[in-house]
Amino acid sequence: MSVDRDRRIANSARSRAMVLAPMVVMSLAFLADMAGAMNAEDAVPPPAAAGQAQPSTASPLAGMRDFLAAFGIGESSLARAKDGQPVDQEDEELLVRLLDRVSALQPADIADWAETPPAWRSYWEQPAALRGRLFAIEGRLRDAQAADVTPELAARSGISRYYICTVADELGLTYSVYARRIPAAWSPRIPEGDRVRVSGIFMKWSGGSPDSPQPLLVTDRPAWFPDNLLGRLGMDCALLDDVPVGGKSQTGAGGDEPTGLERFFLTGRDREAFYQMLAAAGRARPGELYEQARRELEKSGTPVFPVVKLFNEPASQLGRLVLLYGTARRIEKIEVQDADIRRRFGITHYYSIYLFTQDSQNNPLVCCVRELPPGIPLGEGPRYATDLAVAAFFYKTWGYRPERASSDTGSPTPWQLAPLLIGREALPLAKADSRNTAALTGIFITGLLLVVLLVWLWVWVVSRRDRAALSELRRRIGGTSAAATTSGGETSDEPNAAGRAEGDSPERPPDDSIAEM
């Protein structure tokens, strides 16, 4: 890879480095007041401890049916569903109750309880065997339409709208998926043909025939895998709606909006998005994110990515892949203690890098990566520095406390804000005193040859001019001598006064005659 070459390009841009608008790096003391009695220093883990801060919430219940029964949705309630026809008012009562309950499921519950799709045709005559069970299906989105709940039911349930999605799998089977939410990016245009995954409760047959049944599944929100790099790496991009970027996230069914200082930390609300993005980055091939980000930089015509956008325009940068060159002043290894995360994603640890770029005005960008280059030590402090390139996806604005100086024994340092990014790896850059020796040698030799060429050209021009002047001088001297001979009317075979015989070269005239000419 051409990391060193690109590092030189980045260095050449120093004189053109963008003057960063006043970054949002400030004391957040006033936000602590908004957080009430919350002890923020104890409540907020480093970026890495998101999994540790949220213990696994997997239910001790045996399965989905037990979960529903615990909330009063037993077999008798499920049996009221009318198979083979659209949802009517009576079905809607059951539907809304299921929508309410399915939104309370945690990712660990879904991972434990979701079943692979059965041979649907064999259950056409016995749908009761499927009701209340959770199935995970994949397919392509065909349509999504909003439907309003009847006013009376909406007043009682707190759910005023749901969405009816049509999903077709690879076998040609069509599913009716009733969802409490859909990804915000599906409005105003439905991304027809995009890949989706649905973990939904079977409620009934919405139509079809014994040869082509149409299951009706109830879910909180379809997982969405658009045709972009994150989607191809297997991240559910619908989860980005849960990330509070710029202080706000999409209102969802699973909890309250983060407020005040909380929105700058990793919480249970966006924990799943954080680890899914980290897992997706880990699925990339070594160097894949770097090469992709470098190509995008080349297309944009800029040598380095301007980090000002990550500080001042976070909402527009969510999920964007960027390439950063800088100096790491702090690298720490984070052990993931949450058994749920370790089991579902295989993530046992990752690294937090505090990276300072040339245009970040001494403010760090925090990069969480799965791997470090061999030989790069962990550390921090005024004498710790290592040059790195990191290709990573922007995640959110994160609140942190800077390290306190060793001489500082006063109050805790104020909260500051930094862009938080997620990538696969960091790549090493050569040290300043040995960076790309071959290239520097080539530049030196080329420069030396150019100097020699210029000197040769100068000598050639000067010598040519001198020869021309000498020829002109000789021509004039010769013309003067011929004129004198003609005026004397005779020639002599005797040597001239200087003793020169005919045919000898003329002597150089006195210096004063050259000066006159």
pTM over the 0.85 mark: no
The Cα–Cα gap between 61 and 56 comes to: 14
Helix (H) or strand (E) run with residue 461 in it: helix 437-488
110/461 Cα distance (integer angstroms): 84
* Core vs surface per residue 195-227: b (16+ CB within 10 A) or e: bbbbbbbbbbbbbbeeeebbbbbbbbbbbbbbe
Query: What is the CATH T-level fold of the domain 58-228, as seen in this structure?
Result: OB fold (Dihydrolipoamide Acetyltransferase, E2P) (2.40.50)
**What b/e sequence results for 287-312 when a residue is b if at least 16 CB atoms lie within 10 Å of its CB, and e otherwise?**
ebbbeebbebbeeeeebbbbbbbbbe
Q: What is the mean pLDDT of the chain?
A: 80
Model confidence band, residue 473 (pLDDT cutoffs 50, 70, 90): low
Residue 494: pLDDT above 50? no
| Phi, psi angles (nearest 5°) of residue 470 | -65, -40
Percentage of the chain beyond pLDDT 70 is 70
Closest CA to 184 of 248, 262, 114, 104: 248
Q: Please, what is the Cα angle at 408 between 406 and 411, to 5 degrees?
A: 135
d(Cα 140, Cα 168) in Å, to the nearest integer? 5
Give residue 431's pLDDT: 62
Mean pLDDT for the stretch of residues 499-515 = 38
pLDDT at residue 511, as a whole number: 40
Report whether 167 contacts 201 (CB < 8 A).
Answer: no
Q: What is the DSSP letter of 362?
A: T
Residues 323-343, mean pLDDT to the nearest whole number:
97
Using 50, 70 and 90 to split pLDDT, how confident is the model at 444?
low
How high is the pLDDT of residue 286?
Answer: 97
- 6, 294 Cβ separation under 8 angstroms: yes
| Alpha helices per DSSP H over 301-348 | 308-312, 314-317, 339-345
**On the CB side of 280, how many CA atoms lie within 13 Å of its CA?**
25
pLDDT at 411 over 80: no
For 295, 297, 365, 394, 422, the CA distances from 300, given in Å and listed in that order, are 9, 5, 22, 18, 22
Domain boundaries, the chain: 3-34+262-428, 58-228
Q: What is the mean pLDDT of residues 286-294?
A: 97
The pLDDT, as a whole number, for residue 328 is 98
> Does 448 have pLDDT greater than 90?
no
| Residue 406 pLDDT grade (very low, low, confident, very high; cuts 50, 70, 90) | very low
Q: Is 55's pLDDT higher than 70?
A: no
**11-36 average pLDDT score:** 40
Mean pLDDT of all residues in 97-104: 97
Closest CA to 244 of 226, 269, 278, 281: 269
